[in-house]
Amino acid sequence: MARDCAEALVLPFEATDFQAIPGIAERAWSWKGRVDGLVNNAGVSQRSLAIETAFAVYEKMIAVDLLAPIALTQALLPKMVKAGGGRIVAISSVAGIAGIPARSAYSAAKHGVIGYHDAVRAENEHLGIQVHVIAPGSVRTNVSRNALTADGSKRGVSDAAIDNGLPPEEVAKSILAAIESGKRELILAKPAEYDIAVLRRKDPEALFDRMSAMVREGYAKKLAADKTKA
């Protein structure tokens, strides 16, 4: 799967500039005459209770995390099918399988990512399009620092789950291996978070009880305390 990249075309763009995306896709396609792989990885997270969160936060989250990947895929999918196929990799989240407290907007968007890409796979697999959906748990990045709070401001502080999450290099290797093996969905998380995703499908009632208990036991207050310490 590894490739030596002697040259690269870099096309920076604002993910939610939907009017510009078809032109960006055309420039990418024209560079080598095709696009063999598309990785939809645009995303911003959230740390706030739904009852406190401004609607504008939901609008931004859906635009960045869901509509931007859809816009880019829609711009490239017909070309990829006409060229004989290709791969689409969608980065969702464990929060895209199970609704996680303090991430209502993020969960909504990442659920949508899974639903959209599952449908694209079903419609186009026989046309040579391979779709891989990746659902990571906590990964050691700045995602929590950059997460949006209830008023849309940046959180500015990490949390223990992220700091103790999977190393990005390990995650990247696992994703590449899954793509190479043709795996359609990969849940990539430490045991506790992996179990959340599995439980959502096997015993949702038990998971709902677990998530409610997390909040009753002070999960949201702990997140707020982390922010206060920053």
Residue pair 62/71 in contact (Cβ under 8 Å)? The answer is no
User: Parallel, antiparallel, or unpaired for β 37-40 and 129-136?
Assistant: unpaired
Please state, in angstroms and rounded to a whole number, the distance separating the CA atoms of residues 139 and 143: 8
What residues contact 221, with CB distance under 8 A and at least 6 apart? none
Q: What is the CA angle 196-201-205, rounded to 5? A: 75
Given the residues 106, 116, 194, 219, the one annotated as active site: 106
Structure tokens that stand for 191 in this block: 């045991």
Nearest to 220, CA basis, from 54, 100, 46, 102: 102
Q: Is 106 a catalytic residue?
A: yes
Residue positions annotated with a catalytic role? 106
